[in-house]
A and B are shown apart, each in its own frame.
Chain A
């Protein structure tokens, strides 16, 4: 018997157990198991999705992205933009208060955005075009720009880390490369620092001073109405234990049940299972562009020519074909900019002979290809095993470095030659939401030394990303996206390995659970 089988058996036993209703004392408490351990709470300093998810409860943003990926006013009443696009005036809506009782003022906004712009990629583009960001009075603030920045609302609204969260001026004065010391926001829930046990329990209590917007809730837009007094995050590292706890009624909502356990959860009375995030995730194979063989585009193309997305995705999600989709694209399927233009290299039968010829033309001569593999993450391990096989069949000498994610995270930042502690390739994945836009897809940037790990260099791609920033309308955006996809799948800063979805599971007595790239707690109730 393997550990996984045992785990299934243990979880499956819950089917036989009598369902239990949550106790009356817990009727106003939502017990939630997040996707990962929760170690800090700074929406600018911390870049993990779990930090973002918690931050969305505590801090509010000026604008919020709705399910159509459109920025809507959240803390702001609205804005006015000058005809030349160089001046944006914003007004805060009335009644906004921080958790310490102080009103939210424009100077808090200015300080918060200054800290955010120092860390966030989109914020840095904005900063480069910024002449001044100033508080006009307590409720109004103004951007004065040197060059138009049509994506300003998107930058303020995007939930991708780092978050443009608004905090009190004194807190926002913290060095952006250091953690904040006070967790005071103006969001619908208050972080209970006194009840926080890092790695085990995080408690949020409803903020009575929060005034939700009147519109219906739609992801981060609209009214954030909290129907629970408390939300308790319980960190349960073992998926078998989390599944059993959900079946037993000890928890209410599990953010990321593993696919292996989903069939058992589906059969369990009192448990509901559904797709968590319609925008899913995107798997990718990243090359180091500084060293042979992958500093030559022909070597990268050779790998893409034999890349089989079905195999890669089966290694990630198992046999459930409802959970994955091929994506000959750098954009997330189902999002407005998705296009398959130029995606032929990832489609059709895989041609090893042609790929070998392309690899030989790149001058590959049996050198070791150092592949970093985080074996503690099933998603990277599965993809890596498939890729190691195709590289070997392609005639490459693969050095499969099995290690943990912490080590991969450090080693991939090294620009040393692969034989001296560097690397050639590694697998990871990005949230589909991040890959919906050129600005937020970090793997797409090709600005050499300033690019994401692997440091690809392509002025064409960078130029197209800049064109997208300046695109005046949706039509122009689509044209740029098609050109970008063609160029990216020719230059190959990375190879997309497929699009995959994940599940969420919750007790049947919960209402209001929605599909989103992050857990949406507002509107969730019981009974």
Chain B
């Protein structure tokens, strides 16, 4: 197992290298010019060229990529073209809100979606099953910003339970922190709950038709023990897979959610950087997200062995 983990961690190095090359090339080929954005409407072409030169954007692709890759290899993500701040500092400023939002969403989604999926599978074809599936379809097909506006309408403006927007760091107190995150997490969780609930239901249905479930029931085990001890553990592999893959959904949804609720997270940082063509920031954030995704998939692979002892690496 340890050898496998080491091999997987080492394998992330070439993966990150390919991601780095891809991100850099994509931005190099993408239309837009930060020098033109910086120079603004007043600038002449000569002034734009001067700014481009001062930023080093007029040098050949390979030279720029080589310098950037060398810095990355030394842990330096560079400096934002616009704010003149280190990219690592900007990411550090933004990582807490995004991590908090995603973790809260993940926990709440699992706590809601897995029992719903199990319940729907246990009562397949019943009204409960249909309601759960209807909610799942709604959650999956309703855009994140619509859910966000509706929740803000009811719980912030009508009932005044939560703030409309903003973020309170954990250092500002647990309840203010949680209060500011509940609506965004509920917004972001809609699609995630739907996805996990559907997969849980499908996976549970398959497991519940197995012989060992019948045997467990024949032994006289209660419904709860059958569902949550025997069936759910065996149905967990596809659920864990979807939870891992769904992190990409969370990252995408966080961009919209952070905009709707004015949360200063990495999603908004990415959008702002893309709109301004702030290349070092885009590259840094995309690399970070890619790394996080690789790590999460590694964790998912390791979790398989926990749920299914037959899996060995």
CB of A517 within 8 A of chain B? Answer: no
A241 to B167, CA, bound (A): 14
Q: Which of B93-112 contact A (CB under 8 A)?
A: 93-94
Find out whether the CB atom of A177 lies under 8 angstroms from the CB atom of B50: yes
Scan A429-463; emit 1 where CB is below 8 A from any B CB, else 0.
Answer: 01000000000001000000111100000000000
Which of B40, B261, B264 is in CB contact (< 8 Å) with A197? B264
Question: Known pairs A14-B157, A199-B268, A236-B165. 13 more at Cβ < 8 A?
Answer: A10-B153, A13-B153, A16-B158, A241-B152, A241-B260, A245-B165, A247-B157, A250-B165, A250-B166, A410-B31, A410-B37, A413-B33, A413-B48
A428 to B36, CA, bound (A): 15
Chain A residues with Cβ under 8 A from B260's Cβ?
238, 240-241
Task: Please tell me the size bucket of the interface on B.
Answer: 35 or more
Find out whether the CB atom of A410 lies under 8 angstroms from the CB atom of B50: no
For this complex, 12 residue pairs linking A to B, each with C-beta atoms less than 8 Å apart, are A13-B158, A14-B157, A197-B93, A197-B94, A198-B82, A238-B260, A240-B149, A244-B165, A406-B275, A409-B36, A412-B36, A430-B41
A452 to B156, CA, bound (A): 47
A178 to B50, CA, bound (A): 10
CB of A469 within 8 A of chain B? Answer: no
- What is the interface of chain B, defined by CB distance below 8 A to chain A? 31-33, 36-48, 50-51, 54, 80, 82-85, 90, 93-94, 145-146, 149-150, 152-153, 156-158, 160, 163-166, 259-262, 264, 268-269, 272, 274-278
Find out whether the CB atom of A442 lies under 8 angstroms from the CB atom of B41: yes
A350 to B150, CA, bound (A): 46
Chain A residues with Cβ under 8 A from B261's Cβ?
241
Give chain B nearest CB distance to A17 CB in angstroms. 5
A20 to B163, CA, bound (A): 12
User: Given that A241-B261, A406-B37 are contacting pairs, would A199 and B165 also be in contact in the complex, using a CB cutoff of 8 Å?
Assistant: no
Give chain B nearest CB distance to A178 CB in angstroms. 6
Find out whether the CB atom of B149 lies under 8 angstroms from the CB atom of A177: no
Find out whether the CB atom of A199 lies under 8 angstroms from the CB atom of B269: yes
Chain A residues with Cβ under 8 A from B54's Cβ?
175, 177-178
CB of A314 within 8 A of chain B? Answer: no
A3 to B93, CA, bound (A): 31
Give chain B nearest CB distance to A4 CB in angstroms. 11
Chain B residues with Cβ under 8 A from A181's Cβ?
84
A238 to B187, CA, bound (A): 16
A449 to B44, CA, bound (A): 8
CB of A301 within 8 A of chain B? Answer: no
Find out whether the CB atom of A404 lies under 8 angstroms from the CB atom of B275: yes
Find out whether the CB atom of B264 lies under 8 angstroms from the CB atom of A13: no
User: Given that A407-B32, A409-B36 are contacting pairs, would A161 and B153 also be in contact in the complex, using a CB cutoff of 8 Å?
Assistant: no
CB of A248 within 8 A of chain B? Answer: yes
Chain A residues with Cβ under 8 A from B272's Cβ?
37, 39, 198-199
A454 to B85, CA, bound (A): 34
User: Given that A39-B82, A177-B54 are contacting pairs, would A47 and B41 also be in contact in the complex, using a CB cutoff of 8 Å?
Assistant: yes
A272 to B20, CA, bound (A): 50
CB of A365 within 8 A of chain B? Answer: no
Chain A residues with Cβ under 8 A from B262's Cβ?
200, 234-238, 241, 245
Which of B33, B47, B51, B152 is in CB contact (< 8 Å) with A410? B33
CB of A411 within 8 A of chain B? Answer: yes
Chain B residues with Cβ under 8 A from A236's Cβ?
165, 262
Give chain B nearest CB distance to A191 CB in angstroms. 13
Find out whether the CB atom of A409 lies under 8 angstroms from the CB atom of B37: yes
Scan A230-266; emit 1 where CB is below 8 A from any B CB, else 0.
Answer: 0000111110110011011010000000000000000
A411 to B164, CA, bound (A): 38
Find out whether the CB atom of A18 lies under 8 angstroms from the CB atom of B160: yes
Find out whether the CB atom of B46 lies under 8 angstroms from the CB atom of A450: yes
A245 to B42, CA, bound (A): 34
A40 to B43, CA, bound (A): 17
Which of A119, A248, A412, A452 is in CB contact (< 8 Å) with B163? A248
A393 to B42, CA, bound (A): 33
Chain A residues with Cβ under 8 A from B269's Cβ?
198-199
Q: Which chain B residue shows the least CB distance to A42?
A: B84
Find out whether the CB atom of A200 lies under 8 angstroms from the CB atom of B264: yes
Chain B residues with Cβ under 8 A from A7's Cβ?
149
Chain B residues with Cβ under 8 A from A238's Cβ?
259-260, 262
Chain B residues with Cβ under 8 A from A403's Cβ?
31
CB of A415 within 8 A of chain B? Answer: yes
Find out whether the CB atom of B33 lies under 8 angstroms from the CB atom of A10: no
Find out whether the CB atom of B163 lies under 8 angstroms from the CB atom of A250: yes
Chain B residues with Cβ under 8 A from A197's Cβ?
93-94, 264
Q: Which chain A residue shows the least CB distance to B278?
A: A39
Closest 7 CB pairs of A and B: A47-B40, A200-B264, A410-B33, A39-B82, A13-B157, A10-B149, A406-B32
CB of A48 within 8 A of chain B? Answer: yes
Find out whether the CB atom of A40 lies under 8 angstroms from the CB atom of B152: no
A13 to B46, CA, bound (A): 51
A162 to B260, CA, bound (A): 33
CB of A179 within 8 A of chain B? Answer: yes
CB of A201 within 8 A of chain B? Answer: yes
Find out whether the CB atom of B83 lies under 8 angstroms from the CB atom of A442: no
Which of B44, B45, B51, B259 is in CB contact (< 8 Å) with A237? B259
Which of B42, B93, B146, B276 is in CB contact (< 8 Å) with A162? B42
Chain B residues with Cβ under 8 A from A59's Cβ?
none
Give chain A nearest CB distance to B180 CB in angstroms. 11
A209 to B269, CA, bound (A): 35
Which of A240, A406, A442 is in CB contact (< 8 Å) with B42? A442
Chain B residues with Cβ under 8 A from A247's Cβ?
157
Q: Which of A1-30 contact B (CB under 8 A)?
A: 3, 6-7, 9-10, 13-14, 16-18, 20
